[in-house]
A and B are shown apart, each in its own frame.
Chain A
Amino acid sequence: MRLLYFCHPIILIMISEIIIGNVCKKYPNGIEALKDVSLEIFKGQFFTLLGPNGAGKSTLVRILTTLARKDSGHFLIAGLDPETDYRKIQKLIGVALQDNEIDPAGTVENLLIFQARLFGISAKDATQKAGVLIELFELGNECRKKAGELSGGNKRRLHCALALVHKPQVLFLDEPTVGMDPLARANFWEIITQMNQTENVTVFLTTQYLEEADRYASNMALINEGKICYNGTIAGFKKMVNPDRTLSLDDAYLKYIKTNHRQ
């Protein structure tokens, strides 16, 4: 199910990285978290999924990363079906969820090395990769500290570094910069945009920091009460909300949500 798009005058070949078709999810308490969600994200795209709290963003991320099961519909990651190829998918994806999934008893360096080794990287390469990430995320002074002893911001940095240690092809970032100071956030986005631009890594981001989505993402979808309300470019969304004047994504989003809620 890989689609090829040919655009004139320059031929652009766009390969689907994530295909989501009619995915539904209902929780045991009766809440319909996702209602017929269909999306297509292309290889190397920086995509952001926006929506209010409880709209279904994290549920979709959990399903796509195989942490949760969908009730119906289908999805493919890099052409792989999670029902049969979840272990292959795990090798391709890097995931940083909302909570810090860190072993508090492990040191920063050891956790990074262990994570790399779990993905089949040799001990020597794992140590090297851990060193690079420690430097990139400015954790040099903390590398021998136990993760449980780190400050909130540094835990977050380690959490994000762990998601990148195996050089993933697709990155799922669910509110990744919550708790980071502005400098750490800027540093984090520099790393992610570099991976996106130079290594063609596909990024699937959910965030409430809309200025980050505005600055780094090219495409977006808006989800509300489990339904996709908009799917397209960020520029297209801004234009749709206010054709006369260019709004920031923050303003366009607020205007759209307020109007939608009134309706």
Chain B
Amino acid sequence: MINSASFLLIKRCIVKLIKQPASPLTGFGMSLFFLLVYNAGIGGIGDLEAFGNAGYLSFVFPITIISLAMGSSAGAGQTLNADMQSGYFKRLYLSPAPRTILVLAPIIADTLSSLFFSMLLIAIGAAFGVVFKFGLLSVLGVLLLSFLWSLTLCGFSSGVMIRTGQHQSASIVTNAVFPLLFLSTTFLPRELMQAKWLLAVSWANPVTYVLEGNRYLLAGTSSAVFFYLAVLILGVTSVLSVIYALSGAGKIKV
């Protein structure tokens, strides 16, 4: 059960993020860029049969959700890092708050911030004509995938930051994930991929499952299996990322 000290620490991290929103705003800006500019530039290819009936906007929308979390995770754990640098972490460490929550609170705050901007993106997407095939269920499904993806990236980013003691190193995870976008079905459906090696790589790429899972929920251009696999894969990676971050807690110098 979450006690009052844990709640206070999570609240503090959220307030800090609201006061210094550079990272989540960067992710949000990047996502809006993908949504609006890509649709305006190459939206015409959405008329091809392989994109289904919902158009290119619904096809490209999942990438905005993915890039949003990537932007947020690049600055993951900024509160934790600031506390480590100022020595305030030591004071928190000396409080009766559970020590795991000192590491978890910033991860939870980063993930919740990503979730909030996902909701904003969904609202903007809906206003621009993104199709949600199953209505509210689709929205909840997209939010679930967004939550798990954000938790995965923020957990790993915080874990790296804790181990190196440097805030800039949090972006290592984002940089590592970035090439995966181009090795998946980000811009084109599988049917239009010509290089067989790329098609083969995309099957081994977890980003493909997140994208296709979202596409099942939006325009229904993919199979439901992709959604279930995406939940399973992200469920496992998010748990692993939190374990990775928590296992680094002992390395924080107090």
Interface residues of A (CB under 8 A from B): 65-68, 87-88, 90-91, 93, 95, 97, 99-105, 114-115, 117-120, 162
Q: Chain B interface residue count: which class?
A: 20 to 34
Point out residues on B near A: beta carbons under 8 Å.
Answer: 4-5, 8-9, 12, 16, 19, 82-83, 86-98, 254
The answer to whether B8 and A91 touch across the interface, beta carbons within 8 angstroms, is no
> B234 → chain A, closest Cβ, in Å?
33
- 21 examples of A-B residue contacts, CB within 8 angstroms: A66-B94, A90-B94, A93-B94, A95-B94, A99-B90, A101-B86, A101-B89, A101-B91, A102-B87, A102-B88, A102-B91, A103-B82, A105-B82, A115-B91, A117-B5, A118-B8, A118-B9, A118-B92, A118-B96, A118-B97, A120-B96
A67-B254, A91-B96, A102-B86 known; A117-B91 Cβ under 8 A? no
What are the residues of chain A within 8 A of B16 when measuring CB–CB?
105
- Complex contacts, B254 vs chain A, CB 8 Å: 67-68
Complex contacts, B5 vs chain A, CB 8 Å:
117-120
Which residue of the partner chain A has the closest CB to B93? A67
Q: Please determine whether A103 and B97 come into contact, CB atoms closer than 8 angstroms.
A: no
Cα(A95)–Cα(B94), bound, Å: 8
Residues of B within 8 A of A162 (CB): 91
CA distance A170 to B193 in the complex (A): 69
Cβ-defined contact, A90 with B96, below 8 A = yes
The residue from A91, A99, A119 contacting B87, defined by CB atoms under 8 A apart: A99
Complex alpha-carbon distance, A88 and B98, angstroms: 11
Find out whether the CB atom of B90 lies under 8 angstroms from the CB atom of A97: yes
Q: Which residue of chain A has the shortest Cβ distance to B7 in the bound complex?
A: A117
Chain A residue at smallest Cβ distance from B98: A87
Given A117-B8, A120-B5, residue A90 in contact with residue B95 (CB < 8 A): yes
- Contacting residues, chain A, for B86 (C-beta < 8 A): 101-104
Greatest chain A CB density within 10 A among B9, B86, B92, B97 is at: B86
Chain B nearest CB: distance from A15 CB in Å?
23
Greatest chain A CB density within 10 A among B8, B89, B90, B94 is at B94
Assembled-state Cα–Cα distance A65/B94 (Å): 7
Q: With a CB–CB cut-off of 8 A, which chain A residues contact B8?
A: 114, 117-118
Q: Which residues of A contact B92 (CB under 8 A)?
A: 118
Closest 4 CB pairs of A and B: A101-B91, A103-B88, A118-B95, A101-B87
Within the complex, which residue of A68, A93, A114 is in contact with B12, where a contact is CB–CB below 8 Å? A114
Residues of B within 8 A of A100 (CB): 87
Q: Which residue of B lies closest to A88 (CB)?
A: B96
Question: Chain B CB within 10 Å — which of A68, A93, A114 has the most?
Answer: A114
* B95 in complex: contacting residue of A99, A102, A105, A119, CB < 8 Å: A119
Of A66, A103, A115, most B-chain CB atoms within 10 Å: A103
A114 to B98, CA, bound (A): 16
B36 to chain A, nearest CB (A): 34
What is the minimal beta-carbon distance from A65 to any residue of chain B, in angstroms? 6
Q: Name which residue of chain A comes closest to B92, CB basis.
A: A118
The contact of B90 among A88, A101, A114, by CB within 8 Å, is A101
The one of B19, B87, B96 that contacts A87, using a Cβ cutoff of 8 Å: B96
In the bound assembly, the distance between CA atoms of A65 and B96 in angstroms comes to 12
Residues from chain A with Cβ under 8 Å of B94 in the complex: 65-67, 90, 93, 95
CA distance A99 to B87 in the complex (A): 8
Residue of B nearest to A172 (CB): B94
**B154–chain A nearest beta-carbon distance, Å:** 21
Contacting pair B90 A120 (CB below 8 A): no
Report the nearest B residue to A66, measured CB to CB: B94
Given A67-B254, A114-B8, A114-B12; A119-B88 close (CB under 8 Å) = no
Q: Closest chain A residue to B12 by CB distance?
A: A114
Residues of A within 8 A of B90 (CB): 67, 97, 99, 101
Distance in Å: Cβ of B98 to nearest Cβ of chain A: 7
Contact B83 A103 (CB under 8 A): yes
How near does chain A come to B19, taking the closest CB pair, in angstroms?
8
**Interchain nearest-CB distance for B8 vs A (Å):** 6
C-alpha gap A65/B93 in the complex (Å): 10
Shortest CB distance A93–B (Å): 8
In the complex, A104→B4 CA distance in Å? 23
A202 vs B98: C-alpha distance when bound (angstroms): 25
